[in-house]
């Protein structure tokens, strides 16, 4: 099956058409020349001799990019097809890492030191400025290692990453944002940024790659296996019956191997086509590549307003409109699913209420329909008291009962004892923040860690009173199907 998450009947096989080339490849030299002219005109006006901080230059692209290229350099991507938004970052102008329970507070303190020391130049008045990537794991790890001690392999516990080159595409406008640390030598910066243009402009002038012929995947192992999953659900139900927990979210991992190394550009394109209302995420660095297609925002904050998504309660999709609608109505009227959803919505409201002047909460959850599943969804909007930013809010909201459980501390402690595998960044969060620390963070769901021809997929299910091990296993299979389908075309 290869069908988008809206507009086509479930089960209809469709292969996405290659988008038109908005800028033919033979125009790459012309575009590079135009960008170099703007770069040389502006570079001498920039305060490169300042003793510290950063400076960024925004260069408007004369053509919209067909896709964000996958380069060998460390890079990340956030793509939302329905909103026609794309952000990508390449290279590392600066980064800050933190571990332990205070990880986000420490990163925030570092980011605040940049206020007034990150200078942005936008000569074309695009309004598209530089940004950070913020990403963090599901649970705080151990405190940071001593200086000189080797860092553990894998994505760090929490990371604030300022890319050397950022790509932004919003609606009908696109730009590259080039960033350097200060002080900097003019000729050295010109050479370095020119080299980035050489690497980025040709692939930016090409369309997104089309899907490959679908290939089968070999399921190698699952952790826990089906028997272990049943034991875990039974243990969770016992903890709920005893009153220690109201809900806990169990996760599982599935390792699959393809017949060829997975093509990451095609994987991203397939996910964007299949799930246009989801945020597609890719983080590639330190020998690790995490890819996700997530429907759930942790938060979207602009000024004194924030929106968060309460998503919990899941049903499958059906091939016909009438059966599909019946599944949705059954989901909206299920006491068990409504109870699970209410735990999430109430927890988010309780976290925001002390810091909000006003909370807007719809009286009933809506249905969020994706290609392979439908969920109960309550979008919550709050007007914030002064002084809050996305890092403060992330610390307040994460983890939500949608990915952890309720009560939060008790659920996390229970999972540390019972869940056999670590989650890494799965059910953590990642997103882009501007220099004022406003922005958008997404809960990392429907994830896969890609290594050549091998992919390690993650999915979970919320356990509440009335949960059944077989039904919850089936829910995780529906969630895994999102990435499994895309991997076949990559």
Which sequence positions are flagged as catalytic? 247, 296
What token pair was written down for 466? 């009335």
Instruction: Give the 3-state DSSP-derived string for the chain, with helices as H, strands as E and coil as C.
Output: CCCCCCCCCCCCCCCCCCCCCCCCHHHHHHHHHHHHHHHHHHHCCCCCCCCCCEEEEEEECCCCCCCCCCCCCCEEEEEECCCCEEEEEECCCEEEEECCCCHHHHHHHHHHCCCCCEEEECCCCCCCCCCEEEEECCCCCCCCCCCCCCCCCCCCCEEEEECCEEEEEECCEEEEEEEEECCCCHHHHHHHHHHHHHHHHHHHCCCCCCCCCCCCCEEEEEECCHHHHHHHHHHHHHHHHCCCCCEEEEEEEEEEECCCCCCHHHHHHHHHHHCCCCEEEEEEECCEEEEEEECCEEEEEECCEEEEEEEEEEECCCCCHHHHHHHHHHHHHCHHHHHHHHHHHHHHHHHHHHHEEEEECCCCCEEEECCCCEEEEEEEEEEECCCCCHHHHHHHHCCCCCCCEECHHHHHHHHHHHCCCCCCCCCCEEEEECCCCCEEEEECCCEEEEECCEEEEEEEEEECCCCCHHHHHHHHHHHHHHHHHHHHCC
Token code pair at residue 244? 């220690």
β-pair partners for 136: 158, 429
- Residues 441 and 160 sit within 8 Å (Cβ to Cβ): no
Identify the CA nearest to 31 among candidates 209, 178, 205.
205
Closest CA to 203 of 165, 172, 170, 171: 165
Q: How far is the C-alpha of 471 from the C-alpha of 141, rounded, in Å?
A: 32
Token pair listed for 64: 């919209």
Q: How far apart are CA 398 and CA 309, in angstroms?
A: 12
Query: Could you give the CA distance from residue 431 to residue 412 in angstroms, rounded to a whole number?
Result: 23
Crossing angle (nearest 10°) for helices 469-488 and 264-274: 120
Q: Using CA atoms, how far apart are residues 252 and 223, in angstroms rounded to an integer?
A: 6
């Amino acid at each position: 099956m290869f069908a988008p998450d809206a507009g086509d009947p479930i089960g209809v096989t469709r292969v996405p058409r290659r988008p038109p080339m908005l800028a033919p490849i033979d125009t790459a030299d012309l575009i590079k020349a135009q960008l170099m002219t703007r770069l040389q005109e502006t570079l001498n006006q920039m305060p490169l001799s300042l003793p510290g901080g950063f400076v960024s230059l925004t260069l408007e692209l004369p053509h919209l990019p067909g896709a964000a290229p996958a380069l060998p350099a460390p890079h990340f991507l956030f793509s939302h097809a329905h909103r026609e938004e794309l952000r990508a970052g390449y290279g590392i102008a600066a980064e800050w890492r933190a571990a332990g329970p205070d990880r986000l507070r420490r990163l925030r303190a570092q980011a605040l030191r940049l206020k007034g020391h990150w200078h942005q130049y936008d000569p074309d008045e695009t309004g598209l400025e530089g940004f950070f990537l913020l990403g963090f794991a599901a649970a705080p790890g151990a405190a940071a290692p001593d200086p000189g001690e080797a860092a553990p392999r894998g994505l760090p516990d929490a990371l604030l990453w300022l890319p050397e080159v950022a790509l932004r595409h919003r609606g009908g406008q696109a730009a590259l944002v080039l960033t350097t640390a200060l002080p900097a030598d003019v000729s050295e910066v010109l050479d370095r940024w020119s080299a980035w243009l050489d690497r980025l402009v040709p692939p930016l002038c090409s369309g997104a790659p089309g899907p490959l012929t679908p290939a089968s995947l070999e399921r190698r192992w699952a952790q826990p296996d089906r028997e272990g999953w049943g034991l875990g659900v039974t243990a969770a139900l016992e903890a709920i019956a005893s009153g220690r927990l109201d809900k806990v979210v169990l996760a599982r991992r599935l390792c699959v191997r393809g017949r060829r190394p997975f093509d990451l550009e095609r994987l991203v394109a397939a996910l964007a086509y299949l799930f246009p209302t989801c945020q597609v995420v890719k983080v590639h660095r330190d020998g690790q590549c995490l890819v996700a297609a997530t429907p759930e925002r942790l938060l979207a904050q602009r000024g004194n307003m924030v929106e968060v998504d309460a998503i919990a309660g899941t049903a499958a999709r059906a091939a016909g409109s009438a059966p599909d609608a019946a599944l949705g109505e059954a989901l909206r009227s299920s006491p068990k699913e409504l109870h699970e959803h209410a735990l999430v919505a109430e927890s988010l409201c309780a976290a925001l209420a002390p810091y909000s002047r006003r909370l807007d909460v719809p009286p009933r959850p809506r249905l969020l329909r994706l290609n392979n599943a439908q969920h109960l969804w309550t979008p919550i909007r709050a007007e914030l008291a002064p002084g809050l930013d996305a890092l403060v809010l992330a610390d307040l909201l994460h983890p939500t009962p949608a990915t952890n459980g309720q009560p939060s501390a008790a659920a996390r402690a229970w999972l540390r004892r019972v869940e056999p595998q670590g989650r890494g960044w799965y059910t953590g969060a990642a997103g882009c923040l501007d220099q004022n620390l406003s922005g958008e963070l997404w809960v990392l769901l429907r994830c896969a860690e890609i290594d050549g021809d091998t992919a390690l997929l993650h999915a979970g299910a919320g356990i509440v009173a009335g949960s059944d091990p077989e039904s919850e296993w089936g829910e995780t299979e529906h969630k895994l199907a999102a990435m499994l389908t895309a991997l076949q075309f990559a």
